[in-house]
Amino acid sequence: MQINDKSQTKNYLASEERYKTMTYNRTGKSGVLLPAVSLGLWHNFGFIDNIQNARDVLRTAFDLGITHMDLANNYGPPYGSAEENFGTILKTDFKSYRDELFIATKAGYDMWPGPYGNLGSRKYLISSLDQSLKRMGLDYVDIFYHHRPDPDTPLEETMGALADIVRQGKALYVGISNYKAGEAAKAADILKDLNTPFILHQARYSMFDRWVEEGLLETLEDKDAGCIAFSPLAQGMLTDKYLKGIPEGSRASKDLSYLNVDTVNSNIEKIQALRTIAQERGQKLSQMAIAWILRQPQVASVLIGASSSSQLKENIKALNNLSFTSEELNLIDKVLS
């Protein structure tokens, strides 16, 4: 996709303040430091979206010290278009900053028709990453993930593909996503035997979805890997967005299977109660939701989405208050129980 707005096409100079306020956390026992808040391009970066807005969000993110951008082969819609738009913006705005960025992509979900465009075969992973690199105009990504476990492909084959991708120089590190604790432990052991730098597990984690607390975080610590938590705001429910109904254009208004009017309505009382706790801490609900995840030592980064720069600017202020009293934590547990 072309960028037509001349006012934004030239001379992006990143803020000189960009490393002054962000916190960077070590990922497991690796050499990689990730910003405490990272930006995901699942929604709002496809061909159906406004590329100027996408560009504005990316510029704002980098200016705030957000050096980690997370993509996947099928982000869009249409599939592949988030990577293509990101590639366009990289070229116009971030060319000289490539080495300051930590860029992720993934394969594992449905991408192209037929038996080779889904799940966890070597055939799928290697060809998908080649396509992703072309769409983004990159020689390598910083981390490549297997996006979800494949129950039918031997784990040795999937992990072997990740190891070869690193050997080929197409990714510097590898990760897995949506693997349960036991599967993650096995994957980590295979990757260790293959001398492959496995540094991150990408897992859904929010106040409304605490499954990682039941073994995964400890497993990752045992394996010297870190966690990056996705959908920390429960796709917008853990913000002020839905307090007065469902705004037009919001994610819940799009009636997606995982977030819709019913999901919001069934959680609204909890949302209101959590907001009260946040207010007493002097925070917005979104800021408290992010800080609450960062209380876990295994979590290197919280991976948020944003449909505007103003959301990003609001959310990043979570870092101004990351500590919780045990009374606050108990109150939150009580609301969530």
Contact positions vs ligand NAP (CB under 6 A): 40-44, 70, 147, 177-178, 202, 230-236, 239, 241, 250-251, 286, 303-307, 311, 314-315
Secondary element (H or E) of residue 217: helix 216-222
Q: How far apart are CA 187 and CA 214, in angstroms?
A: 18
Rounded to the nearest whole angstrom, what is the least distance from the CB of residue 237 to ligand NAP in the complex? 8
Rounded to the nearest whole angstrom, what is the least distance from the CB of residue 253 to ligand NAP in the complex? 8
Q: Which is nearer to ligand NAP, 146 or 327 (CB)?
A: 146
Q: Which is nearer to ligand NAP, 196 or 202 (CB)?
A: 202
In this structure, which amino acid lies at residue 327?
E
Rounded to the nearest whole angstrom, what is the least distance from the CB of residue 260 to ligand NAP in the complex? 12
At residue 26, the 3 state secondary structure works out as strand
Q: How far apart are CA 196 and CA 264, in angstroms?
A: 41
Name residues whose C-beta falls within 8 Å of residue 119's C-beta, 6 or more positions apart in sequence. 108, 150, 152, 153
Q: Which is nearer to ligand NAP, 73 or 88 (CB)?
A: 73
Q: Which is nearer to ligand NAP, 190 or 304 (CB)?
A: 304
Q: Which is nearer to ligand NAP, 167 or 210 (CB)?
A: 210
Rounded to the nearest whole angstrom, what is the least distance from the CB of residue 16 to ligand NAP in the complex? 26
Name residues whose C-beta falls within 8 Å of residue 221's C-beta, 6 or more positions apart in sequence. 28, 297, 298
Rounded to the nearest whole angstrom, what is the least distance from the CB of residue 214 to ligand NAP in the complex? 18
Tokens matching residue 76: 């869009």
Q: Which is nearer to ligand NAP, 41 or 51 (CB)?
A: 41
Among 233, 316, 297, 329, which Cα is nearest to 67's? 316
Q: How far apart are CA 44 and CA 307, in angstroms?
A: 6
At residue 268, the 3 state secondary structure works out as helix
Q: How far apart are CA 134 and CA 132, in angstroms?
A: 5
Rounded to the nearest whole angstrom, what is the least distance from the CB of residue 314 to ligand NAP in the complex? 4
